Structure 1
Amino acid sequence: MTITQILIFVRVAETLNFTQAAQELHMTQPAVSHAIASIENELDVKLLLRDRKKGVLLTDIGQRVVREFRSILQSMNRVEQQVAAEKGLDIGTITVGAFPSASAYFLPPVIQQIQQQYPNLVFDLHEGSTNDVKEWVHSRRIDAGIILLPDPLVETLPLYSDQMVLLLPNQHPLQQQEQITIRHLHGQDMILCKGGHEVAILDAFEREKSELHIRFTTHNVSTLVQMVRQGLGIGIVSDLALSMFPHELTVTPVYPIIHRQIGIAAPSIEQASLATKLFIRTAQELFVPELALHTK
């Protein structure tokens, strides 16, 4: 089989749609189907199933093979970048994933700095939930991801220590408190924005022997802001996520401080491509000093 065939299979496995894969690869659908059939014939195993109701599905062996094929493509990308570096060229593609608030906060300055020196590098950006990004790193769908730590299944480096803050409705009695503790929140109507930090919040309330009364749960910070504005409860959300949504409400820390650690992850930093190592190094240069600042 050829690298092109492997690339075609990976794209079909990711889109689960022959037509879409063909369009993205600028190929005809029969050519894509032929490439998949050639791989399956060579391996003598069924990698994809075509179901009239569910569409295209990966078989169990297909799911395992696509991980190995992604690893092969990443290895080829490393070879191409090594050769380009030897020739004095700066080419390559960096596939990066992040959850929304991390994507907005971390990626623009990192990309901007890299582009100043290496304008020909291409960034392929993927945005999803915190769990999505972790799965993409595990399955090698992306070269690197910005995730919530810890994750023992991949290599990680810390970037930022984010903290949970409270968003208070107007005229709320707790606005009179000079310092709000977790015990002040015992039994209060709370609005929680899911984003991977729920365990840290639950643990903090348990340590303080306070009841966390979650009145509402959202998946969107803007929804949380609107609900607090309507007086439906006290919002508890990460400072980083909240900073992306301008508002006029009162924001205050809660004590003891509840942290969540954000880091950069890759299947193997040592085996990463030159472009991926550049991305990781640039992110550290820009944000690790900020990590120390936020943990004082």
Structure 2
Amino acid sequence: MDQPLLVFVTVAEMQNFSRAAEQLHMTQPAVSQHIAALERQLGTRLLERSNKYVRLNKAGEIVYHHAKEILGLHARMTDLVNDLLHTPSGNLVIGSSYTFGEYVLPHVIARMRSLYPMIKPTISIHNTKEIVELIGSRQLDVGIVEGECRDEKLCIEPFADDEMQLIVSPHHRLAGKETVKPEELEEETWIVREEGSGTREAAEKMFDRLDVHPQNLMEFGSTQIIKESVEAGLGISLLSTWAIRKELKLGTLCLVRLQETPVRRKFSVVTQANQFRTKALELFLELLRNHEALPGSADRYK
């Protein structure tokens, strides 16, 4: 392990020498010495310091980006060697897009923890675009994304189907209608996810297919906020059946009877291409592909 790099990354993330020292169980002078040694080695300052903050300068941003990758590679190397000698263990850094990460992944993790308690998962929730970027920079061991995803440098494997439904408040004018025509949707306020989200991509593809051009869009960065907003009558939305199953059972959300729904898409798992895989990663992928709730999952909540 390159100790100065670890200290530098910790200081950059904590933005404070004292908090970094506490996190690393070191003294503050020792932290300062490591930073000074790294700056001497590279021949430039990496941090802007004041009494109130510690920030990366341009050189620091470059070093931080590569240091994260180097430390991640070192951790994976250690885990691979440990796999040869011990039972499955070690850290597993998982990234997931919001729908799968918030509504499906916790059940997979619970199963993994019951079978392999020495594997220690860390979960980050981001949109699809961000997950792909983090896999590419080796900051994640594995990612789960929704919708279409292409990157020649990564291994992308569809593993489960998802269905998306058009939802409204029970008090909305479209709730309970026998059939709804596409042109009726154009005048509605649509509540959508941010650019880069697989859910946003699915909504835009549906707009194109139906030749619908909504004039009023509200953009939110969380599925939960979208559900609450639809329940409150602020507008309508297209969300995964996974995300709305509880609300449908409780009757706080209603499906719109549109001939073109449900909208179908895939969940995909993303890893580095041609990488050595730890035993922890292999076991997680096996549990993911065989998760009992995934096949035909959307049908369970209609």
The question of 1:160 aligning with 2:160 is answered yes
The separation in 2 between residues aligned to 1:174 and 1:33, in whole angstroms, is 63
- How many angstroms does 1:118 deviate by? 2.4
Deviations 1:197-238 (A, max 9, x none): 223322322332223233533334444344434433333333
Show the counterpart of 1:290. 295
Instruction: Give distance in 1, aligned partners of 2:47 and 2:18.
Output: 15
Residue 206 of structure 2 aligns to a residue whose secondary structure is: helix
Structure 1 runs (4+) greater than 6 angstroms displaced: 291-294
**Partner in structure 1 of residue 260 of structure 2:** 256
Per the alignment, residue 104 of structure 1 pairs with 102
Q: Give 1:185 deviation, angstroms.
A: 1.6
SS of 1:140's partner is: coil
Shift in Å, 1:94: 0.9
Letter of the structure 2 residue corresponding to residue 158 of structure 1: P
Aligned to 1:278: 283
- In structure 2, the partner of 1:169 is 169
C-alpha distance in structure 1 between counterparts of 2:257 and 2:14, whole Å: 42
How many equivalent pairs are there?
292
Residue 282 of structure 1 aligns with an amino acid whose one-letter code is L
Question: What is the CA–CA distance in structure 2 between the aligned matches of 1:180 and 1:36, rounded to whole Å?
Answer: 63
8 Å contact kept, 2:80–2:277: no
Which stretches in structure 1 are left out of the alignment for 5+ residues?
none
Alignment of 1:141-290 (within 5 A): 141-148=139-146, 149-152=148-151, 154-180=154-180, 182-194=182-194, 195-214=197-216, 216-243=218-245, 247-248=250-251, 249-252=253-256, 254-257=258-261, 258-268=263-273, 270-286=275-291, 290=295
The within-5 A match list for 1:49-88 is: 49-50=48-49, 55-88=53-86
Structure-2 separation of matches of 1:78 and 1:229 = 44
Q: Deviations over 1:241-286 (max 9, x none)?
A: 3336574221246443434433222334623433233323332232
Q: 1:251 and 1:166 mapped to 2: Cα distance?
A: 6
Corresponding residue number in structure 2 for 1:18: 17
Aligned-partner SS, 1:174: coil
With over 3 angstroms needed to count, the CA separation of the structure-2 counterparts of 1:216 and 1:89, relative to structure 1, is closer
Instruction: Go from structure 1 to structure 2 and tell me whether the alpha carbon gap of 1:114 and 1:252 turns closer, same or farther (over 3 Å shift).
Output: same
Note closer, same or farther for the CA distance 1:23–1:99 as it changes in structure 2 (3 Å cut).
Answer: farther
Letter in 2 for 1:251: L
Verify the 8 A CA contact 1:101 1:244 in the aligned structure 2.
no
Q: Structure 2: where are the runs of 5+ without partners?
A: none
Q: Which residue identity lines up with residue 97 of structure 1 in the other structure?
A: G
Which secondary structure state, in structure 2, belongs to the residue aligned with residue 123 of structure 1?
Answer: strand
Give the RMSD, CA atoms, in angstroms.
Answer: 3.3
CA deviation digits over 1:136-189, x for unaligned, max 9? 333322222223341426332223333332222335443454444534423233
Structure 1 CA distance for aligned equivalents of residues 224 and 176 of structure 2: 25
Q: TM-score, normalised by structure 1?
A: 0.80
SS in 2 for 1:110: helix
- Alignment-mate amino acid for residue 90 of structure 1: P
Q: TM-score, normalised by structure 2?
A: 0.78
User: Which residue of structure 1 lines up, in the alignment, with residue 46 of structure 2?
Assistant: 47
> Comparing 29-38 with 239-248, which one deviates more in the overlay?
239-248
Deviation of the 1:76 alpha carbon: 2.6
Q: How far apart are the structure 1 equivalents of 2:77 and 2:127? A: 31
The worse-fitting range, judged by mean Cα deviation, of 218-227 and 103-112 is: 218-227
Deviations 1:113-155 (A, max 9, x none): 3333422121222234445434433332222222334142633
Q: 1:88 to 1:187 in 2, by over 3 A?
A: same
Are residues 63 and 79 of structure 1, via their aligned partners in 2, closer, same or farther at CA, if it must alter by over 3 Å? same
